[in-house]
Structure 1
Amino acid sequence: MRCGWNGALPAPGIRTIRDMRAVLAVPACVASDPLYYMYRDLARSATDRRWLIDHRLRYDITVIPPRDLCGEHVKTKGHYHPENPAGTGYPELYEVLEGTAQFLLQTRKPDDVVLIFADTGARVIVPPGYGHITINPSPDTTLVLANLVSTEFESEYGEYEALHGAAYYVMSDGRITRNPHYPDVPPVRKCTVVRGEGVAGKPCMGSIYTMIGSRNTLAFLNEPEKYPDVFTGLLKD
């Protein structure tokens, strides 16, 4: 990786076409493996690792090479986060390290569907109550993402699998097509995050990895109900 990480990398988790078939626009799509790689629970030092463990957090990197999956952009499988003990959904913080990303977010109903366009250097917060997939829309550039997330839950993939993906598919020709397995969905809202901005337009100073060691900065990932201002203004059109 050219930017964003200079530490050791363990063997990755790998998503294959078999893993993804249930959520594709064309479930019978034939493609060679692997589709993308997940490097979980990373730390550059023993001190950083201990801090992350003590604060119930995890730093990951996901690498998504460019692919066309039978007319659909390559994407992650998609999942929801459960609620924390206070009854608020766990959020997640992403950073685009290389390439350009699209994040397709939706509520469980779904009564809100948002497509976020994010350049290299942009940060995106997935707020409580939203499921999400990440898409590499580039035909020739690998997408590299970092994320910080609570270790207090397991991601929930079942609803995406049961409904054959998100409420919409983002196709390689630029079309955004409705998933017919959803009985009723709202139109897709769109917003853009550029380099150096968060979703709400707040400045980003350095990589999200530099937040490790700052409890006040990252406490919202485990206790979002105590930090409503973090989510104010997110997902504006």
Structure 2
Amino acid sequence: MFEWEGDLPRPSVRTIEDLRPVLADPSCEKSGPAYYMYRDLAKSDEDLTWLHKHNLRYDITVIPPRTLCGEWVKTKGHYHPKNPAGIGYPEVYEVLEGQGHYLLQSRRFDDIVMVSADKGDLVIIPPEYGHVTINPSQNATLVMANIVSCAFESEYGPYEKYHGGAYYEMSNGLLRKNSRYPELPQVRNIGATCVADKYTFCKGPLYSHIGNEDALSFLNFPENYLPVFSVLLKNLVQPR
């Protein structure tokens, strides 16, 4: 599965049935678990106390390889609400094993970004972007960690309303537009959005930031980091 110091709690399991409302083919007859979520982890009581004191949570998600009637397996997709300052809560991910594709979309659907990340890469989800995580592999399990604020509940409603993200990533390598959305821009393809030599919180491993308030304060107070967020998704490769 993946290396972890100590016992793991029982994971929350997202099933194919849970994902059916957001699949490219909702009539897909496949069934069973899609991915596993280990919530609120820490390697020591001291680390867990620090995380809770700072209203943060460290999670690990495991997405085994599979296709769902022509579509790569993925997470359900969600947005984050605004914090008390009126700025959407961000999130940070680290790929621990495998490769991840993070399909980000702005709330107004005027920017769609596919972030490709490999083992060791960190990816920041900026405020006001929804995101779906995809495992684009036939044989490798995607294992990823994240740290996120505990001050909110994720918003799945918009993805359910439109039956998925703006695009579906199919196992034949193509991106299929979701026809339920209004007119969409082309997808911008970029590499991992966190560059360690520019931003302190981009230096991995992600777990090493636990205990460092300066490195993780952006998760609860994004209003203090707006200039950083404004450039995170500018690493443009080319439209797809």
Q: Deviations over 1:108-143 (max 9, x none)?
A: 111110001111110000000100000000000000
Equivalent residue of 1:101, what SS? strand
Equivalent residue of 1:132, what SS? strand
Deviation for aligned residue 1:224: 0.3
Q: 1:88 to 1:207 in 2, by over 3 A?
A: same
Deviation for aligned residue 1:17: 1.2
Q: Which amino acid letter does the alignment assign opposite residue 137 of structure 1? A: P
Equivalent residue of 1:145, what SS? strand
Structure 2 match to 1:168: 167
> Distance between the aligned counterparts of 2:39 and 2:2, measured in 1?
18
> Distance between the aligned counterparts of 2:80 and 2:57, measured in 1?
15
> Distance between the aligned counterparts of 1:53 and 1:230, measured in 2?
25
Deviation for aligned residue 1:57: 0.2
Instruction: Work out whether residues 96 and 120 of structure 1, in 8 Å CA contact, stay in contact via their aligned partners in 2.
Output: yes
Deviation for aligned residue 1:200: 4.4
Equivalent residue of 2:86, what SS? coil
Instruction: Work out whether residues 122 and 194 of structure 2, in 8 Å CA contact, stay in contact via their aligned partners in 1.
Output: no
Q: Which amino acid letter does the alignment assign opposite residue 145 of structure 1? A: M
- Which residues of 2 match residues 1-237 of structure 1 at below 5 A? 1-3=1-3, 5-193=4-192, 199-203=193-197, 204-236=202-234, 237=236
Instruction: Work out whether residues 8 and 44 of structure 1, in 8 Å CA contact, stay in contact via their aligned partners in 2.
Output: no
Equivalent residue of 2:58, what SS? strand
Instruction: Work out whether residues 101 and 119 of structure 1, in 8 Å CA contact, stay in contact via their aligned partners in 2.
Output: yes
Equivalent residue of 1:210, what SS? helix
Q: Which amino acid letter does the alignment assign opposite residue 23 of structure 1? A: V
Instruction: Work out whether residues 200 and 233 of structure 1, in 8 Å CA contact, stay in contact via their aligned partners in 2.
Output: no
Q: 1:2 to 1:15 in 2, by over 3 A?
A: closer
Instruction: Work out whether residues 24 and 165 of structure 1, in 8 Å CA contact, stay in contact via their aligned partners in 2.
Output: yes
Q: Deviations over 1:159-187 (max 9, x none)?
A: 10010000000000000010000022111
Instruction: Work out whether residues 170 and 177 of structure 1, in 8 Å CA contact, stay in contact via their aligned partners in 2.
Output: yes
Q: 1:59 to 1:19 in 2, by over 3 A?
A: same
Q: How many residues align?
A: 231
Instruction: Work out whether residues 17 and 30 of structure 1, in 8 Å CA contact, stay in contact via their aligned partners in 2.
Output: no
TM-score normalised to the size of structure 2? 0.93
Q: Which amino acid letter does the alignment assign opposite residue 154 of structure 1? A: E
RMSD: 1.2
